[in-house]
Amino acid sequence: MNYSLCIGAYRGQDALYHLRKVKEHGLGGLEVYKWWELGDLQSFAAEQEAIGAGITATCTKVFDLVDPAKRESYLDGLRQTIEACRLLGIRSIITQTGQERAGVSRVLQQEAMVETLKRCAELLQGTEIVLEVEPLNGLVDHPGHYLQRSDEAVEAIDRVGSPNVKLVFDVYHQQITEGNVIRNIKAYAGRIHHYHIADNPGRKQPGTGELNFVNILRAIRETGHDGYIGLECGYTVDTDEALQQFKEQILAKL
Cβ neighbours of residue 149 closer than 8 Å, sequence gap 6 or more: 135, 177, 178
Nearest to 31 by CA among 195, 169, 201: 195
What residue type is assigned to position 50 of the chain? A
Taking the C-alpha atoms of residue 210 and residue 19, their distance in angstroms, rounded to an integer, is: 30
Q: For residue 116, how many other CB atoms are within 10 A of its CB?
A: 25
Closest by CA position to 63, among listed 32, 31, 95, 35: 95
Q: For domain 2-253, give its CATH number from 3.30.300.30, 1.10.10.10, 3.40.50.1370, 3.20.20.150.
A: 3.20.20.150
The per-residue pLDDT string of the chain (254 residues; one tens digit each, 9 = 90 and over) reads 999 999 999 999 999 999 999 999 999 999 999 999 999 999 999 999 999 999 999 999 999 999 999 999 999 999 999 999 999 999 999 999 999 999 999 999 999 999 999 999 999 999 999 999 999 999 999 999 999 999 999 999 999 999 999 999 999 999 999 999 999 999 999 999 999 999 999 999 999 999 999 999 999 999 999 999 999 999 999 999 999 999 999 999 99
Question: What is the sign of the dihedral through the CA atoms of 147, 191, 114 and 127?
Answer: positive
Q: Where are the domains of the chain?
A: 2-253
